[in-house]
Amino acid sequence: MEKKIKMIIEWTKTKIKINLKTSDNVYFYIKEIWWTNIGSNIGFEQDGKGKNFSRPILIIKKFNKNMLWAIPLTSKHKEGNYFYNLYHQNNNYTLILPQLKLISSKRLIRKITKIPQNDFTKIKSEIKKFL
């Protein structure tokens, strides 16, 4: 438990820096996978890793230049109704579908790739099953 508390304290410091960051006009679009400062989260929510608490996400919807819906990804292959496995450009990604979340574009670090429309359509269909 002490380790988790230390992580939350470190994430809080990082989050303050991210929040104070002036907008760099990050240009992002749906279907893109980005490295993102996702944070140290609560319970079973997906955490970021490393000193920046980062993790790849897939952008599902862009509301404006500051807000987007994103789904965290993992490199671990997972099966079941809550996951979508994607193979793209020699990389395996597993989307954690129920962890769709609204995030600020200030969290975006760098673009990794953009997925094809046919995969994106399938992913959106899987997300709709939760609604």
Does residue 112 form part of some domain? yes
The beta-strand segments (E) located in the chain are 32-37, 54-62, 67-74, 83-88, 91-96, 101-104, 108-114
pLDDT of 46 above 90 = no
**Residue at token pair 């929510």:** 45
State how many domains the chain has: 1
Parent domain of 77:
26-128
Does residue 15 form part of some domain? no
Does residue 17 form part of some domain? no
Minimal CA–CA distance to 86: which of 118, 54, 50? Answer: 118
Q: How many other β-carbons are positioned within 10 Å of the β-carbon of residue 55?
A: 23
By percentage, how much of the chain surpasses pLDDT 70? 98
CATH number at residue 68: 2.30.30.110
Confidence class of residue 24 from pLDDT cuts 50, 70 and 90? low
Confidence class of residue 111 from pLDDT cuts 50, 70 and 90? very high
Tokens of 86: 């994607």
Please give the DSSP secondary-structure letter assigned to residue 63.
-
Does residue 1 form part of some domain? no
On average, the pLDDT of the chain sits at 89
Instruction: Determine the number of helices (DSSP H) and then strands (DSSP E) in the chain.
Output: 2, 7
Length of the chain: 131
Does residue 20 form part of some domain? no
pTM for the model: 0.88
Does residue 45 form part of some domain? yes
